[in-house]
Structure 1
Amino acid sequence: MRRYNLRLDGEAKWKIVDRVTMRTAELGGVALQRLPWAEACDMISILNSLSAIESASRDYEALTAAE
């Protein structure tokens, strides 16, 4: 499941929503909202990739700790 999704944020602008918190996602303290479509798509791809890496890292850490 992807952690981040797009939501329409006004006319032709988009925001990125964190499905865990159901709030607008932030990066470096900056809310990811009022973005043009292309920028929002790029950012959501990056955020979901980082989220997948973090999840895999936690899974790997748990496996190695159990050994």
Structure 2
Amino acid sequence: MRRYNLRHDVDGKWLVVDGVTVQPAKLDDVPLTGMGWPEACDMVALLNCLDAIESAARDYEALAAAE
């Protein structure tokens, strides 16, 4: 399941929504709102990749701790 998704913002712009908090996602404390379609799509892809990497790292850490 993907954590980050797109939603329409005001004036035809887009925002990235964090599925955990159901709030606009933030990058370095900057809300990811008011973006054009290509930029918003890139941000969703990037954030979902980073989330997958963090999840895999936690899984590997748990496996290593169990050994």
What's the TM-score once normalised by structure 2's chain length? 0.97
- Runs (5+) with no aligned partner, structure 2: none
How many residues get paired? 67
Instruction: Provide the alpha-carbon RMSD of the alignment.
Output: 0.6
Show the counterpart of 2:46. 46
Q: Percent of pairs identical after alignment?
A: 61
- Runs (5+) with no aligned partner, structure 1: none
When you count helix as a share of all residues, which structure comes out higher?
A: 2
What's the TM-score once normalised by structure 1's chain length? 0.97
* Runs of 4 or more consecutive aligned structure 1 residues displaced over 6 Å after TM superposition: none
